[in-house]
Structure 1
């Protein structure tokens, strides 16, 4: 294994202070920032161009999608050039002006609208990277944005296909195949063995999926992208979505998390770090970079008011001024130019680390606390997993604790969950679920100094070769002065204090997700085999949450190829059956060469979630769900269950969501409708009784609708009780025939055999002829009626 050591060590520490045993704050180490500032322009001259080719087909979308890109490349750099491909996020595909309501998701654009130029929004980043020697390609995805409302994954698979089709074209052009675009003929050739993908918002989801589809092809791969002639060295994500909670553990990543993000506001991009823990070998670096004062949109100049003729707005909003994020009043809020400069600096750091193997920028990303001058006044914090880390404590039920509680990071029950402070990205559940099993932390609460929390792994851990112990710790937002002493104990019982740390919480408000883990490190001394890790508060009362602890060394390691399996779920419909109980199963395609484990969660409509850890191996065609169904001979509605999968060990997930429908296979009971009062004087209620021949186990939904009579005066909206009418979603005025707008839901409750359909009328002083109302009732696959009623005027007094 090749280890690359950084040219400089960790630098300025942000948010925490490390003090040696018995030392003082004055003795805390302080080191200079890296010499290599990735936000500074490189030495090469650049050129800008574009290519535009006919639309292409992608999975899950009905219409072909646009296929073009903006290219910025160095003209005098030695080739071949490493490639950075950028994909913008979900945004109105067309614009008619710069106002926030001037966008449209129609495609092709409607009259009066023009395509939004989202792919040109990364030009400043492209120029920075090109001057450093990268070939940069920013692709357009307007037609994906216009159609991604329908796929369950928000268009991730479609975007993956689009990215890989561009890479396939670039590989062909680099090999001299086809009609090479002019801008590419004017620069050195591309090196497709060194590709870094950058994705913003849903583009982040898309490039992550492209990395997975490259390493672990779909069982039904896209013909347009075969053979694979590129290698993805890493991905950089800006405010990414993560609908599937399915990061690719063996591909290095950097997730930039904007502190004032008003779109991906829960900072769900954190899962691209947290979701890799324990899934694979833990070699690839996964970095989370928290950028305070940045919103979601302004990393793209075409989404920034004042810089574009496209629709643009500030995505951060709050009912009242926010002291951290409201522009003009919050000192920490960055201007658009400051945000872009800081973002470009860290994107360049990721590109240099992943694409060039330049470890001199590693301290910016790996939790060492370094900063780059080009980031300006932005407050940037980072922590990481992977790289040169050895797991010491990753809390789970196998870890024995005192003074702390192992808990689920994402669970609504405080007896089981960690009860992290409100607004923690570490507590985000898998999309669409209430809880995420299998992802643990440890909650520490103390009333007095000296109340030690101890963590004993299932077996002693060797930290031979490690330089420091690194911990990721959450403290409450806005808190100050959490002092923790960290010690390790050898199997022999020898205890060694490594030092103390002081942690201050990130600034936070009700509008931010600021309960975010900070990485702290303490140098190892003589104990190199650890049986117990101790964390001891040294001042007052307080609380903290340990996410994990590691033996850390500088540098990164080449991520080895793995034999992770790929799992793709499918949907199905099964018959309920007449008797017996059996487990539900979900169709699945498992491909690859190894074995692994995945979590499966299933829930019905308004029902509880059931989850289980399931082994997977190639050739498997279905997976057992943690839910049983019992057959019967009673009629009821079909039952639909949503299934979600995410990786637990040595696995990646492609199609992560599916539906299993249990079809009712029993004949329906007889159902009828009979008049109770269908000829009344105004002020009385019309009524019919709907009756079943036997009760059902579930509510039976009925739909009542009006049927125009067209043969005389009809009952109108002013002839019925206004309160009842409001319950159907209608209002009396203007007066209209009731039957022409009436439509509402009626329910036969479970366990009962009847329900009354009632229409209360009102008395008025208007002399009028008899009025009629005709109704029909839909009972699923049957119609009742129509039935007709008459409402007569009150007799003269």
Structure 2
């Protein structure tokens, strides 16, 4: 069953904003996708001088209609940057042999930026194509941005979250200029996501920068929390307002001494985490709860049973065949088909790659429909009164409306 069938009644209306998607058919809208890249060295990190690219994949309704559409910006987390299979094999072998000098040398090739000549970059932003397509079918414009330069950088902790927030703001500034004036760095930059051929898309006056949602996976989750924090709203580009924040298996710097850098008090926020996540612990939920504790906006958590960390990104998932894709859940030969948090002894059925993404997309889409379009028909799902994905797995839901 598709998320469209689960979530789309005959009409997707909104009581909150004239910028909400207009009523689609049951199957949703026809969608299209383009990419853009302004270079692998588009700018340098102020702290270190290391290069960062400005590149993204955009999904949008093929018919943009007449009213501006809500914008969702997605940001991936920390993952290898370069598809060097020789280096990946060498790293695996070095790890088995406990040759840590060789391990480090191979790892540096996988985490370099820009990638060596002839080595393909890993398109970590394309790992959310399934989500971009679903949101676009429901009327949103979705920009999934690439952060390989930050992944390859020496920044960690709060500095890494801050750099990701800055990257988001740089992309938002480009979109604000393009929508408002039809000018700026994105003019002439779009290419067909399938063929790579240039494509002209007239986004002028079609993107509602006053109605933005952000989605961050893994360290991207820390980035969107930092970007939306009250302490950092002054850094948003002029004409931009973030109205909803989704942290997907967020990897926070839990040793931070300054929680004010992450505090979100007036913006609805949600967190998703799998019970078999091998990279992010339960602090993903508690940290976000602390960050919103003094707020007045809605806060939701969705804990997906049998879900790991990597399956939410198709490029990080084994079925993709991509370099460095793997199943991070904890496994034991005595529990075939089951998973646990690494180091834990409580096993349960592991959700498939497709199943994990269907559940994630359903809750993410419901969240943005509620807080970017005002569609209250998804409330029962967001509060846990209804569990439309129960045929796939159990989802523990908590919610607060302060």
Q: TM-score, with normalisation over the residues of structure 1?
A: 0.40
Q: Taking structure 1 as reference, are residues 152 and 306 closer, same or farther at Cα in structure 2, changes over 3 Å only?
A: closer
Q: Separation in 1 of the partners of 2:156 and 2:230?
A: 17
The question of 1:273 aligning with 2:289 is answered yes
The question of 1:87 aligning with 2:105 is answered no
- Number of residue-to-residue matches in the alignment: 340
Indicate if the aligned counterparts of 1:261 and 1:267 stay in contact, CA closer than 8 A: no
The residue aligned with 1:240 is: 250
Instruction: Give the Å deviation of 1:269.
Output: 3.4
The question of 1:382 aligning with 2:397 is answered yes
The residue aligned with 2:370 is: 353
Indicate if the aligned counterparts of 2:7 and 2:362 stay in contact, CA closer than 8 A: no
> After the TM superposition, which parts of structure 1 deviate over 6 Å for at least 4 consecutive aligned residues?
none
Comparing both structures, which one devotes a greater share of its residues to helix?
A: 2
The residue aligned with 1:630 is: none
The residue aligned with 2:270 is: 254
Q: Taking structure 1 as reference, are residues 192 and 311 closer, same or farther at Cα in structure 2, changes over 3 Å only?
A: same
Q: Taking structure 1 as reference, are residues 355 and 58 closer, same or farther at Cα in structure 2, changes over 3 Å only?
A: farther
Counterparts in 2 of 1:162-181, with a 5 A limit?
A: 162-175=167-180, 176-178=182-184, 180=187, 181=189
2:201 equivalent among 171, 182, 185: 185
User: 1:393-446: CA deviations, max 9, x gaps?
Assistant: xxxxxxxxxxxxxxxxxxxxxxxxxxxxxxxxxxxxxxxxxxxxxxxxxxxxxx
The question of 1:72 aligning with 2:77 is answered no
**The structure with more radius of gyration:** 1
The residue aligned with 1:315 is: 328
Q: Separation in 1 of the partners of 2:330 and 2:349?
A: 16
Q: Separation in 2 of the partners of 1:237 and 1:184?
A: 32
Counterparts in 2 of 1:727-738, with a 5 A limit?
A: none
Q: Taking structure 1 as reference, are residues 240 and 322 closer, same or farther at Cα in structure 2, changes over 3 Å only?
A: farther
Q: Separation in 2 of the partners of 1:241 and 1:209?
A: 12
Indicate if the aligned counterparts of 1:42 and 1:133 stay in contact, CA closer than 8 A: no
Comparing both structures, which one devotes a greater share of its residues to strand?
A: 1
Q: Secondary structure at the match of 1:129?
A: helix
1:128 equivalent among 134, 141, 144: 134
The residue aligned with 1:364 is: 381
Indicate if the aligned counterparts of 1:43 and 1:132 stay in contact, CA closer than 8 A: yes
Q: Secondary structure at the match of 2:339?
A: coil
Q: Separation in 1 of the partners of 2:200 and 2:366?
A: 25
- Select the structure with the greater relative contact order (CA < 8 A; seq sep ≥ 6): 2
Q: Taking structure 1 as reference, are residues 338 and 80 closer, same or farther at Cα in structure 2, changes over 3 Å only?
A: same
Q: Separation in 2 of the partners of 1:108 and 1:359?
A: 45
User: 1:80-117: CA deviations, max 9, x gaps?
Assistant: 11101100000011122387948611222235632111
Q: Separation in 1 of the partners of 2:45 and 2:131?
A: 27
Indicate if the aligned counterparts of 2:276 and 2:330 stay in contact, CA closer than 8 A: no
Indicate if the aligned counterparts of 2:214 and 2:242 stay in contact, CA closer than 8 A: yes
Q: Secondary structure at the match of 1:76?
A: coil
Q: Secondary structure at the match of 2:280?
A: coil
Unpaired runs of at least 5, structure 1:
1-32, 390-797
Q: Taking structure 1 as reference, are residues 295 and 157 closer, same or farther at Cα in structure 2, changes over 3 Å only?
A: same
Q: Taking structure 1 as reference, are residues 152 and 160 closer, same or farther at Cα in structure 2, changes over 3 Å only?
A: same
Instruction: Give the Å deviation of 1:141.
Output: 0.2
The residue aligned with 2:194 is: none
Instruction: Give the Å deviation of 1:296.
Output: 0.2
Q: Secondary structure at the match of 1:312?
A: coil
Indicate if the aligned counterparts of 1:59 and 1:158 stay in contact, CA closer than 8 A: no
Counterparts in 2 of 1:233-632, with a 5 A limit?
A: 233-243=243-253, 244=256, 245=259, 246-277=262-293, 279=294, 282-318=295-331, 321=334, 324-325=338-339, 332-366=349-383, 368-373=384-389, 376-385=391-400, 387=401, 389=402
Q: Separation in 2 of the partners of 1:159 and 1:213?
A: 16
1:63 equivalent among 36, 45, 50: 50
